[in-house]
Structure 1
């Protein structure tokens, strides 16, 4: 599932390539991927300008000149591709938005969605999300206060979207490894030094993931050489049995609260 870095990368590319353009066509191939009937969806989108693309946690928000927004959550297996009729993935596209000669394909939206919402509906939909760890206001004192009120394991704490928004399986494991802490360590067992290094690791891993292009396997457009570059940077995630990059101990995979979890039992304490 795309996490904060992947959605931030999408946001930056979409802002560069599509912000300010007008939606000229809409195709809906799966009604369950949207929240209104297709006829209304098309009539409200066609000829609307795409004024801005924002990110909130794992969501993208497409702000429209009509005053409404499209809220995207890709969920498990969802991805996007920007191309045209001659450059189109051979996959089922649940929704297609056209911007003149460019098309934005939404693929794999079996669990994900693209919902048309008013500002009040959008605010209500996102109300339960915790702070964004990449927000400039997310300082160490803010993190210290948040983590100080938790008692669960680090793994389950980090993937809880009401605690922090945007972190999932991959980056929770990478952050714990960076901090040298086991993902099953309890938040209320952390001392001050461990909380500080956890905060630094959180910021560092997410920043590096964005810099290297996240871990999405599919390119976003033809010639895209950046998206997915973090796959080669992962220290523990999806590396079961491979040697730890610090100590050469084999990386372990376990399930914690039904979530696959990767760590080094030697480097992490």
Structure 2
């Protein structure tokens, strides 16, 4: 279904768990049909069935690996037909230090976290601009705003933030909204999949999926390009702009586990 044939359509990458699943559930509850893109077709089928039974949502499933050119093209081809909302959520981190990481894994991380975001946004925007309506939510991270929490992951999220902020200027007056969503630590499968030990992280630093998705959509409605959910992270990112960067890096290595994250 294209965006003009009936119900609005939200296109979500990485919807099988965590924030992606949270966005899929929320848009389904708001009356959207979905396009779901991930590698795990079984989990997407399970999600689609659940959302159909709960909300009457129709879901198109695209089983694709966004680390590959073929996977990105499979997703891009659907975006050219038009959607109302694109959520670039797919992404991953890598444990260990940069100089010990597998170069192929590092390249895959770059392709998913950066290349896919750029390419899918490029494919989605022409139809949105033509319709004078639409939204792109690019899931970045507080790690892209605060130096010292890993290297390649933080750098990839810094790209997403800068890319989105730059786009917002070009899209002014078109009716299309863009947002860089910058959550802190969220209770999802992310850290477990990356092999990052987080048991020592204070409870006050954790957010849940519902908090992050709700903050994102509220900020989108109010026109905020940079969305930082949680008062604790608003304070941290504000301080990060005011204090010397060397101090921010030291604090991140102490609190944010900057070592052991690539």
* TM bin (shorter chain): under 0.3
Q: Which has the higher contact order (CA 8 A, sep 6+)?
A: 2
Q: Which has the higher strand share?
A: 1
Query: Structure 1 length as normaliser, TM-score?
Result: 0.26
Q: Which has the higher Rg, Structure 1 or Structure 2?
A: 1
